[in-house]
Amino acid sequence: QSALTQPASVSGSPGQSITISCTETSSDVGGYNYVSWYQQHPGKAPKLMIYEVSNRPSGVSNRFSGSKSGDTASLIISGLQAEDEADYYCHSYTSSRNWVFGGGTKLTVL
């Protein structure tokens, strides 16, 4: 079973860049193959921001990008804006049929 660890909170000022990490701790031999990221505003449904580590769905701002190095995936938000303040969740799917969300990170725009 996989587990994904995210920081509880991050913050940044408008115009700055921030990074949210997502680290896998797993005994899953299948590995950490597919990572996606979701944005959730209070009282709203989650919205897909990044899929398969670094792909951006149509309509998502290019200020959002994703990467992965070893066991840690990252969501990078550049040119921070007030409307980016939200909760962010990473998600992993492995070839051994394991789906899991990270605990979530609250982003505060100062």
Partner 1 sequence: QVQLVESGGGVVQPGRSLRLSCAASGFIFRSYAMHWVRQAPGKGLEWVAVISYDASNKYYADSVKGQFTISRDNSKNTLYLLMSSLRPEDTAVYYCAKDGNYFGSGSFPDYWGQGTLVTVSS
Q: Which of 15, 103, 108, 110 binds partner 1 (CB under 8 A)?
A: 103
State the minimum distance, in angstroms, from the CB of residue 13 to partner 1. 26
Contact with partner 1 (CB under 8 A) among 7, 19, 31, 51: 51
Q: How far from 77 is each of 30, 31, 57, 66, 94, CA to CA, in Å?
A: 29, 26, 15, 9, 25
User: Where does this chain touch partner 1 (CB under 8 A) — which range of 13-21, 23-31, 33-41, 62-70?
Assistant: 33-41
> Which residue in 4, 20, 8, 10 sits closest to 71, CA to CA?
4
